[in-house]
Amino acid sequence: MIPDNINKDYILKAIDEIKKANAIPSGRESTKYDLVFEENRYPPKYVVSLANKYANGEELDSSTFSGGDETNGFLRDRGFEIVNKKGDSYWIFSVVQDNWRIARAEKIWAVDKPSVKEKVEDGDYIVLYVKDQGFTCIMRIIGEWYNAKEPIWEDEKREGQIKYPYQVKTELVLEGWAKLQDVVDDLSFMENKAKRGIYLRGTPANMGRPIKDSDYKILYDEMIRNPLPGSLVAWLNEYSGKPTAIENYFILRIGGGEYEDIPEQKYHFKEGIPGSVQLRNGANNSKFIYYQDDNFIATGVIGDIKSEKRNDEEHYFAEVKDYGQIKSLPFESVRGKLTFDSVGQAGIRKISQQDYNTILSMAGVLEPVMSWSDLLNQDLSQLIEDILNYQGKTLAIDQNIVKRILTHMALGKHIILVGPPGTGKTDLARRILRLAGMSVVENDNPVEAVASYEWGRYEVIGGKTINTKEEDFHKGCVLQAISEQRLLLIDEFNRADMNRAFGEMFLALDHNEIPLRHDENPSWLNEKEKQEGVINIPSWFRMICTLNDYDKSLLSEMSYGLLRRFAFIEVPNPKIEDEKRIAIERAQKRLKDRGANIAEIDEVKDVVDSYFSFIKDVRERRKIGVATSIDILTYLFLKSGKEDNPKKRLGDALADYLLPQLDRLDIDTITQVKKALDTQFTKDKEFERFRNGVDDMLNRLRGLESIFTGRQ
């Protein structure tokens, strides 16, 4: 059995150990599966054995746990990718509609022939062909096959016996609708198009053969283009017990004389008008916005749709639920923010969720998916891990720092991240705003702005413009974020004049409304805001700002109002070993992405160790960030020709990357740099340019000191 206390960090340390050794011990190679991390492959069972050494002090005996399901499942649960060594295989299976619904809900697949277990393996993909529907979903096999214990499929239940004794777990990859008639001409495995049905029989179909990658891509792309109809999704969800997710969004035009609309109760449309089929397929699965006289005026949800024959013409009446009026919003005021230029003359127009959210955001009525306070009652461990490992790039920042930030935001605070340049403050802020933003406001694209000394109210809140041809009010970064339902990141916060740029904003945060000046009257305000002369700050709005160096003199310039409206979180450098590991990985990846020649770790190990010993000594006085280490190691790992000299490359990198950061620092800090340089690199000629630069700074500072103190 694998100990539960082996977490992701210990597994990463095991991977790092294997990577450094650059070899797998004899007998520990994988046979069927690999763990894939940063494009490299590792034997899953050996990784777990090594990880136990970091978690519990000794390597785990491989005879005490099994490979396959146990090891692969353990690693998958901790976020790692497991692949079959033979590569991906794609299979077609035919299924009746009722059994498709069960496969989807239970996340399993089953067959009646033992030979299939030898073909279709962990990591393979299966494409389901539902009779009379088309290709409807793609699932991936997870784990090993096992024996069924009871009847679960519809035909098994009818007959009271197990017909498909071999089962396997799956995960859903994609749902969509690839109709056979739309793809048959492009599918190469259907060689005889006139007898296409023969390729959809058997277990698996296609005469027991996998399909080509190109055929899989055709089916995948077609499903992406054609989502399942809402009515079909609703039917599928009835089995699983899941609430029906909203899949469709419409603009519905009302006010036509020939239609019998009762906006609060029903919407009337006819067969054949543009959008009628889409709306019928969206029964019990669609939200809409009413449109009348060039204005958006109300919202609702489509319920059941009933039909009625009148003079050989089919009429439909859609039930309206959750009807609610919104402020009248002219189409012209949102035209440039939508993905279409006009609503058109048709009564029904299907739109994207993004366009739907944009319209309601501009109308000031879009409710968040969840509130910030919901985070207070949740286990944040998965969200924190997602933030720190966003898009496969690890941030060497303590998990507790991320937890504190999320907790402060849940309690209503805005955040200022402080620390030396290069510790990952901006990257961390962007990750939090993207992932939390998706949960709270369904928008993972925060507004980003870089502060400057010239900033004033105009850049932060906004103000009148001199351009009379367009909107007469410019939105500052805060109003842009609020109006577009986005969170806000302000980088280099300390560059601005605090009171001039943020004075009015701080007061507004206290009252949750931004006061407008007497001559400011933006056209997009609702009637209440126009009458009261204020813009309301929604409860979901949050901003994260970054500030370089925890400068006490800067804090003294900030008013008490600023200090109490924000939570100040320090983002320090990570532990030196963690920084070394991450800096090496990032540097090597940069060079690999650029197709450069990369030095082997053994060639530069001593120089790398010397650099981190040096930088550790420097940090006793000056907090140099991780980003600088990544820059320096990128240059260090760049292999250049026969006369390659890692020490020379490090000396050049220190002169080009670190030396400029030391300018204008005090004499004690430069003295510490000089001391660290002499300790780690003695009088090595490779560091002459960097050493001369440090000496020049010291001489200049000593000269200034003698002028002001009179000492020589």
Q: Among 3.50.50.60, 3.20.20.60, 3.30.565.10, 3.10.590.10, what is the CATH number of 90-228? A: 3.10.590.10
Highest average pLDDT, of 228-237, 246-255, 467-476, 559-568, comes from 246-255
83: helix, coil or strand?
A: strand
Place of tokens 């985070």: 375
Query: Which has the minimum average pLDDT: 121-125, 425-429, 434-438, 703-707?
Result: 703-707
Residues 548, 535: Cα–Cα separation, whole Å: 31
> Does residue 87 or residue 587 have the better pLDDT?
587
The pLDDT value given to residue 242: 44
The pLDDT value given to residue 689: 92
Contact indicator for 235, 101 with CB cutoff of 8 Å: yes
Percentage of the chain surpassing pLDDT 90? 23
Q: What is the mean pLDDT of residues 271-294?
A: 86
- What class, spelled out in words, does domain 373-570 have in CATH? alpha beta
Contact indicator for 441, 540 with CB cutoff of 8 Å: yes
The pLDDT value given to residue 467: 57
**pLDDT confidence band for 271 (50 / 70 / 90):** confident
The pLDDT value given to residue 349: 92
In which element (H, E) is residue 373 found? none
**pLDDT confidence band for 328 (50 / 70 / 90):** confident
**pLDDT confidence band for 321 (50 / 70 / 90):** confident
The pLDDT value given to residue 5: 86
Q: How many CA atoms lie within 13 A of 476 on its CB side?
A: 21
The pLDDT value given to residue 557: 53
Q: Is it the case that residue 552 has pLDDT exceeding 50?
A: no
pTM for the model: 0.48
Query: Which has the minimum average pLDDT: 109-118, 301-310, 336-345, 621-630?
Result: 336-345
- CA torsion, points 501, 475, 470, 299, in degrees to nearest 10? -160
Query: Which has the minimum average pLDDT: 249-253, 432-436, 503-507?
Result: 503-507
The pLDDT value given to residue 165: 92
Residues 540, 436: Cα–Cα separation, whole Å: 11
Q: What sign does the dihedral 53-56-57-61 (CA atoms) show? A: negative
Residues 215, 196: Cα–Cα separation, whole Å: 14
Candidates 376, 322, 316; CA nearest to 347 is 316
Residues 139, 174: Cα–Cα separation, whole Å: 7
| Amino acid identity, position 601 | I
| Amino acid identity, position 712 | Q
Q: What is the mean pLDDT of residues 611-626?
A: 86
The token pair at 89 is: 């295989």
Using a 10 angstrom Cβ sphere, with 0-12 exposed, 13-18 middle and 19 or more buried, the burial of residue 330 is: middle
379: helix, coil or strand?
A: coil
In the chain, which segments carry CATH 3.10.590.10?
90-228, 248-362
Q: Is it the case that residue 250 has pLDDT exceeding 90?
A: yes
Query: Which has the minimum average pLDDT: 129-138, 179-188, 211-220, 688-697?
Result: 129-138
Q: Is it the case that residue 367 has pLDDT exceeding 60?
A: no
The pLDDT value given to residue 241: 45
The pLDDT value given to residue 91: 94
Q: What is the mean pLDDT of the chain?
A: 84
Q: How many CB atoms are closer than 10 A to CB 602?
A: 9
Q: What is the mean pLDDT of residues 489-493?
A: 90
What CA–CA distances, in Å, run from 379 to 8, 22, 383?
17, 38, 8
**pLDDT confidence band for 154 (50 / 70 / 90):** confident
In the chain, which segments carry CATH 3.40.50.300?
373-570
Q: Is it the case that residue 356 has pLDDT exceeding 70?
A: yes
Question: Which is it for strands 543-548 and 414-419: parallel, antiparallel or unpaired?
Answer: parallel
The token pair at 635 is: 């240059």
**pLDDT confidence band for 634 (50 / 70 / 90):** very high
What CA–CA distances, in Å, run from 180 to 135, 136, 213, 250, 277?
7, 10, 18, 28, 20
The pLDDT value given to residue 582: 84
The pLDDT value given to residue 469: 47
Which CATH fold topology does 248-362 show?
ph1033 like fold (3.10.590)
Length of the chain: 712
The pLDDT value given to residue 365: 61
> Does residue 177 or residue 428 have the better pLDDT?
428
The tens digit of pLDDT for each residue in 504-548 reads 887 787 777 888 887 787 776 666 677 778 888 888 899 999 987
Q: What is the mean pLDDT of residues 457-479?
A: 77
